[in-house]
Amino acid sequence: MPVSKQVVLQKAAQFYSESLAHSADAMSYLQARSLPLSVVDDMKIGYAPNEWDGFVSTLNAEEQAAALEIGLIAESNGRRYDSFRNRLIFPIRDEKGNVVGFGGRTLTDDTPKYLNSSESDVFKKSQILYGLDLAVKSGRKHLLVLEGYTDVCGLRAHDINTPVATLGTAFTEQHAHLLAKSNVKHVTFCFDGDKAGRDAAVRAMDAWAMLHEAGVEVGCVFLPDGLDPDEFVNSRGREKFSEYFQSNRLDAANSIAKLGVDRYLSYGKSPGLDAQLNCVAYINDLCMTADVSVERVRAAFDANPAFDCVQHSLLSQIDEFRQPPLENNNSKGFSP
C-alpha cells in the first residue's frame, strides 16, 4: 500500500526540526535575526543538513516514492538525493495546521536565496498563506498580509501574532477565499514603498474586490523604501512599528488615490494633459478592479493633505474623462 504523502511530509518536518540543534550556523542565523526559541517552536523551524542524502537515507522505498512526488527528494542517473541542503527550513502549513510543503532559506551565498517545495496536489502556493493557522487560532479579526515567511517570524518574535504571508506569488482570489472563510473582519496588506511594492498592490486588487464582497474591510500600508517588515520591527521596535501602521494605513480608496498620485508624479514635475488623462484612466481601472466607488476615491483626494501637490491639476481632468458608454454598464469607475 502506497505511503501517504502527509506521513512523509510530517516525517520531513520532524527530521528538519531535530537537525536544527546540530547546526551552529543555523542557530547563529536565528540569533542574529533575534528569533527566540518560542517562535522557532511555534513555527517548527528546522534545518536541512549540508548532505546529499541526509533526509533520503531515513526513508524506505515507498516513502522515497512519495517524497519524489512532492519534491522533497530528486533523482538523477538513478541516484536519489535531498532537494533541501544546508538551508533553514520553514514548514508550510495549511489553515488546518497540516504540513503541506517547506520553504528553505540558504545560509550561504548560494542561489536561489529562498527555495520552496515543488508544486504538487497537496501544495499549491497560490492557495496557501503562511502562518494562517496560528493567526486564526489567536482569535484576532485583523490580519496583516506580508510577502515572506521570514517577515511573519520576525513580527511574531515581537509578539505581533496576526501576520500571514504569500509564498512568492501575488495575492490571489484563492487567498482571499481563505481569509473570508476564516471569519477575518479586517485585512491590511503590507507592501514595499518602491515601484515593485506598488505593482504588487495593483496585482492584488482583483482579490480585494472579493474580500469586499465577503464583508472584509481592506487597507494597505507602504513601508519606507529599503525596509521590509522584519527589518523595520527589529530596528525600531514594536511600538514604532505599530505607530507607523496606525498612522500610515490607507483604506482601499486612499490606496487607489496614492497609487494614482505616485503614477502621476512619475511623469515629472509638470505632466502634460495626455499624462494626466492617462493617470485618470489608470485610477478608473483600479476603481473597477477593486470594486471601489469613484466617490470614495474623490473623497480621499479631498481629505488627504498629502495629495495637495497634485489633486487640483489631476481632479480638474476627471470631469473631462470620458469612456464609450456600455450597455447596462454598472461600473463603479470614473464617469461623467
Name the pTM for this structure: 0.85
> Residues of CATH 3.90.980.10 domain(s) within the chain?
5-123
Each of the 336 residues of the chain gets a pLDDT tens digit; together they read 467 999 999 999 999 999 999 999 999 999 998 999 999 999 999 999 999 999 999 999 999 999 999 999 999 999 999 999 999 999 999 999 999 999 999 998 888 999 999 999 999 999 999 999 999 888 888 999 998 999 999 999 999 999 999 998 889 999 999 999 988 999 999 998 888 888 888 888 888 888 988 899 999 999 987 788 999 999 999 999 999 999 999 998 889 888 888 887 777 666 777 777 788 888 888 888 888 887 888 788 777 777 776 666 666 655 555 444 444 444 344 332
Prior bond of 325 cis (ω within 30°)? no
Q: Which of 138, 29, 4, 159 is nearest to 90 (CA)?
A: 29
CA distance 129 to 147: 10
CATH number for the region 5-123 comes to: 3.90.980.10
Q: What is the DSSP string of 28-93?
A: HHHHHTT--HHHHHHHT-EEE-SSSSTTGGG--HHHHHHHHHTTSEEEETTEEEES--SEEEEEEE
CA distance 89 to 106: 9
Q: How far is CA 3 from the centre of its chain?
A: 33
Cα→Cα distances 161→43, 102, 134, 140, 182, Å: 12, 21, 8, 8, 15
CATH number for the region 132-248 comes to: 3.40.1360.10
Distant-in-sequence, close-in-space partners of 67: CB < 8 Å, separation ≥ 6: 8, 12, 55, 56, 59, 73
Report the alpha-carbon angle 244-250-256, nearest 5. Answer: 140
CA distance 172 to 166: 9
> Residues of CATH 3.40.1360.10 domain(s) within the chain?
132-248
Q: What is the pLDDT of residue 158?
A: 95
